[in-house]
Structure formats: structure tokens, C-alpha cells
Amino acid sequence: MKSFSSIVIILGSMLFISCQAQQEKVNYFANNAFGNPVVGNTAEYYKGVTYVAYQGEHLDPYVAAYDHKKDQWTGPYKAGTNLLGELLPDKVDSHGKPTLVVDGEGYIHLVFGGHGGTPEMGKNPLGNHHAGKQIHVKSKKPLDISQWEEVDNITPFGTYSQFFKMDNGDIYLIFRHGAHRSNWVYQVSRDNCRTFSPKVSFLKAKPVATRPDGTEDWDSWYPDFRKGRGNDIIMVYNYHFCKGGAERHDGERHHGYYMRFDTDNKTWYNVKGEELQIPVTKEYADSMTLVVHTGDRWNHIGHTCLNHDDHPHVSWYEGDYDGSKHGGLKQLVNYRWTGEEWIGGKTNLPVEARGEMKVTSPDSIQYLLGDSEGKNGELAWWLSTDGGRDFIKKEVLVEETGGRFTTSQFIRNAHPDARIVATQKIKGTNYSKVYLVGDNASIVRAKSDADILNIEELKK
Ligand code: ZN
């Protein structure tokens, strides 16, 4: 009998082990991201944990956290309510996807929900209205994403909000002060986001001409930012010609510009080191900060980073105008500053592939790009060793059935296992899966925990 009970115990433990092994793991950590769910600065590694924010169900902000030592996920938790969700289901407005920062005391902050605000919120002194409300929330306790409270200390008129944390602990909040006829502004907090300095405009939106019907054409801007050297913020930007008349707002953007904000002395410089007067206008940008004039070609979404010589590289997506609202298919172009001039141009990278740039030497340029291969989406490194013209595909970090991957910027203070946040649309829905991807692969999670929503039910 003794041997019989041993056999039972052995069989029982084998069954237990096999059940454990059968607990299915998936490469994503959540499947309830919604719309265009991830902004550039959406995650931070802080004291052993990577914190990630994304736009989830009903366009509301959600936060998840991964403890690298314990190999343990928490969340996602809903952190606030996005007023742009009131426009659903007719309009999926992703302008209010959340940006995240962890302050010096370990509290986690998000800003989200803005697309210019509405006239009921008052006059917008630096731009125009559209919808939503820019909102700031903070975790109730340090290092704890389960409970959140609203902090009423920012304007409702922001959109494309982005947090930047400097090495000295200063936290910058950068946003466009309204809809697409608004200045771009920054504010700084030196007390862990309890208060922010007055807003400073650095890019000026302004009317350029009045049409016979009384409507106006405007100069406007689409910038993109990265942390530069020390306490610098570096910036690449494209010009938006915002049309009046019957044509109205569309995706017309041209040219590339570069400038640098030295936050230590609150001064802006062009690539030659000449001090700039802000806010920068179109005419001033053309004479002081132009990288290249794109002529009739339309472009969008810049990237910038520095190489080992601290010379900037810039890139954006550019293509021949085809008469459509967004101007046609766009492919990455890139340029670098040699110390005397900008050189570069077209690449051979896949059209519409999106991602992040990393430069190790002036000639060695890498992109981590989301693209699709047949029925699969993939996130892969592409490398150029000839200064950015010809690229070859290197390591594929994630490959999954479904659509093209999109990415955040590289994560602030990143752990090697969690360099970037990637999302992939779930076909037939407006939902996406969210991935935390490191140097070799994404961090896995039990399928039962990652499947927040029953997507098959939602498709019905
Ligand atoms: Zn416009």
C-alpha cells in the first residue's frame, strides 16, 4: 500500500507540474488598448519597476507595472476619465493618450485627455479650441498604481502632452496649447509636479492670409522631442500649412527644422549654436533652423538623436503628394549634421514602417521599426553602415499574427529587458495588444491575466 500511495503522490505532482506548464504565456501584457494608444513618453523604469501608461477602453488612461526582480506584473488600472471618450463611438480621438513620469518621491503622474478644450472652459489665450480637457492625475501613494487622484494645476487647453525628466530632477511638461492653430509651450516643475512655472511659448502659430470668404490660412507646427545631452531637450519639427476656406485642415506638412533647448539657462539654440528668439515664427525658422526644404513633398512625424560627436541626426516620413488628405505614402528620410552642413536624404526602409532611431557613430544608424510581413506584424532592428541610405534588417524582436506594430519612444531610464512599448491592432476591432519589449524579446505574461477583454465577444 505504501508503494501505491507513493505512486499516487508522484502521479499527482506530475499532473500539477504539467498544469503549471500548460498555463499559457503570451508576448503582450494587455489587450484593452484603444484607438492610437501610445504616445512618445509613456513609460519609465524606476527602482526596479517599469511603469507603462496607454490609452485603453473608452479612451481612458491605463497604467501597468512590471517588477523586473520578482518577474511580476500588476495592473492595468484605470487612472482617470478622458472626456474625449464622450465623442465615441462616432469619433475615435486619440489626441489625449497619456504621458507618464515618476517624480523624485516615487509618485507617478499622467497628463492626458486634451485636444484643445472647449469654449465653456474659457478663452484659450494661446490658440484655438476643439474638444476634450487636458487633465493631470497622480498616484495616491508612491510606487503604487492602484489608486489615482486628479491634480488641478494645469490648463485644460493642451494636447500632445509630453513629460520630460531632466538629470537634475526638473520635470518639463510640453504641449500644444490647443487645437492645430495654437502655440507650442513648455512649463517646468521643480517640486515634483505640485506646481508648474508659467507657460512659455516656443513655436508660434499665426495667421498668414485672409481669403475672400473671410477665413484665414495659418502657420502651424508639428514638433517631436527627445532628451539631449545633459539637461537639453532637442527638437525636430515640420511646418503645417493650415488652410482656410473650403479646404480646411488636412495633413499638409513640409520641411524639417531642428533646435535645442538648454534648460539650465532657459535658452534655445540652432544647430550652429546661435541663440534663438522665441517663439519661433515660420519666417524665423526658415532663416535660422531649417534642415531641408521638402518642396512639394509632404512629410510628418520627426525623430532626432545625437551621435557620439553630439551632432544631431534627424528624420521624418516623407512622400510625393498624391492629392489625398494625408498626401500619399511616406518613407523615412534622414539627415545628419556634419558640424558644417546637413547631409542625407532618402532611405530604402519599408514604406510606412514606424519606429525609433538610434545612432552609435555618424555612419552607423539603426531603427527599431514596426512593420508587417504578410499576415504578421513585426518589430525589428534595421541597420545602415553607410550613413543612413541603405538599411538591412537585423534581429526581429517580436513577430505576431496581426497588423503593423507601433511604438513609443525608447523608455526613460530603461532596463535592458524593457526598452520600448509596442502596440499591435487586433484585426476587426479598434483595440490593440500592448507589449513591453527589451533587447531580445518582449516580457511575457499569463494569457489569463493579459486578456483583459474577451476580444472574440467584442467582435460579435
Ligand atoms: Zn490645420
One digit per residue, the tens of pLDDT, for the chain of length 460 reads 445 555 555 555 555 555 555 689 999 999 999 999 998 999 999 999 999 999 999 999 999 999 999 999 999 999 999 999 999 999 999 999 999 999 999 999 999 999 999 999 999 999 999 999 999 999 999 999 999 999 999 999 999 999 999 999 999 999 999 999 999 999 999 999 999 999 999 999 999 999 999 999 999 999 999 999 999 999 999 999 999 987 778 899 999 999 999 999 999 999 999 999 999 999 999 999 999 999 999 999 989 999 988 999 999 999 999 988 888 889 999 999 999 999 999 999 999 888 999 998 888 999 999 988 788 999 999 999 998 999 999 999 999 998 899 999 999 999 999 999 999 999 889 999 999 999 999 999 999 999 999 988 877 6
Catalytic: which of 51, 66, 107, 160? 160
CATH of the domain at 62: 2.120.10
CA of 240 to the centre of ligand 1 (A): 7
Compute the CA torsion angle 128, 137, 99, 226 (nearest 10 deg).
90
CA of 209 to the centre of ligand 1 (A): 14
Note if 95 is an active site residue. Answer: yes
CA of 289 to the centre of ligand 1 (A): 22
Residue 101, all three cell numbers:
513620469
Catalytic: which of 66, 95, 109, 222? 95
Amino acid at position 209, single letter? A
pTM: 0.93
Query: Residue 126: which domain range?
Result: 27-353+439-450
pLDDT at 44: 98
**Residue 117 located in a structural domain:** yes
| Domains: count for the chain | 1
CA of 278 to the centre of ligand 1 (A): 22
CA of 242 to the centre of ligand 1 (A): 4
**Residue 108 located in a structural domain:** yes
**Residue 358 located in a structural domain:** no
Cβ–Cβ under 8 Å, residues 36 and 15? no
342-346 sheet: strands from edge to edge: 298-306, 312-319, 331-337, 342-346
Note if 415 is an active site residue. Answer: no
Cβ–Cβ under 8 Å, residues 147 and 111? no
d(CA 293, CA 36): 29
pLDDT at 169: 94
Residue 420: count of CB within 10 angstroms of its CB = 25
**Residue 414 located in a structural domain:** no
